[in-house]
A and B are shown apart, each in its own frame.
Chain A
Amino acid sequence: MATADEASLIRAAQKGDQDAFAALVQTHDQAVLRIAMNLLRSPEEARDVYQEAFLRVFRNLDSFRFDCSFTTWLYRIVTNICLDHLRKRKVRREEPAENNEYNLLDAVEERRADNNPQRKLLTGELKNRILSALGGLTPRERIVFEMRHYQGLRLRAIGESLGTTEEAAKNCLFCATQKMRSALGDYA
Chain B
Amino acid sequence: MTPAPLTCEAVRELLVLYPYGELTFDQEEAVDTHTARCAACAAEKNYLENLHNSLDEAAVHPSMELLATCRRDLRAAMAADTRSAWRRLLDAFLPAGAFAKPVAATAIFLAGFFGAKLVPQTTPETPVARTVRFIEPAGDGALRIGYDEISPRAVEGRVDEAAIRELLLAASTSPDDPALRVDSVEALKARGERGEVRQALTRALESDPNEGVRLKALEALKPYLAEHDVRTTLTRVLMSDESATVRTQAIDLLTSSRATQLEMTGVLQDLMRNEKNDYIRERSRNALRAVNASLETF
Whether A54 pairs with B74 at a CB distance below 8 angstroms is yes
Interface assignment of B13: CB less than 8 Å from any CB of chain A: yes
Whether A34 pairs with B113 at a CB distance below 8 angstroms is no
Quick one: given A33-B66, A102-B60, A170-B17, are A18 and B113 in contact (CB under 8 Å)?
Answer: yes
Interfacial residues of chain B within 46-98, with CB under 8 A of chain A in the complex = 47-48, 50-52, 54-62, 66-67, 69-71, 73-74, 77-78, 81
The binding surface of chain B is classed by DSSP as helix
The binding surface of chain A is classed by DSSP as helix
Whether B59 pairs with A18 at a CB distance below 8 angstroms is no
Interface assignment of A150: CB less than 8 Å from any CB of chain B: yes
Whether A46 pairs with B78 at a CB distance below 8 angstroms is no
Interface assignment of B20: CB less than 8 Å from any CB of chain A: yes
Q: Which residues of B contact A149 (CB under 8 A)?
A: 20, 52, 55-56
- Report the nearest A residue to B81, measured CB to CB: A55
Interfacial residues of chain A within 21-48, with CB under 8 A of chain B in the complex = 21-23, 25-26, 29-30, 33-34, 37-38, 41, 43, 46-47
Say how far B105's CB is from chain A's closest CB, in angstroms: 18
Whether A180 pairs with B67 at a CB distance below 8 angstroms is no
Interface segment among B114-122, B138-146, B192-200: the answer is B114-122
The complex places the Cα of A89 from the Cα of B134 at a distance, in Å, of 54
Interfacial residues of chain B within 15-55, with CB under 8 A of chain A in the complex = 16-17, 20, 22, 47-48, 50-52, 54-55
Interface assignment of A91: CB less than 8 Å from any CB of chain B: no
Over the window 97-135 of chain B, the binary record of Cβ atoms lying under 8 Å from chain A Cβ atoms (1 yes, 0 no) is 000000000000000011111100000000001000000
Supply 6 further A-B pairs (C-beta < 8 A) apart from A58-B78, A188-B47: A16-B113, A18-B113, A18-B118, A54-B74, A104-B60, A180-B51
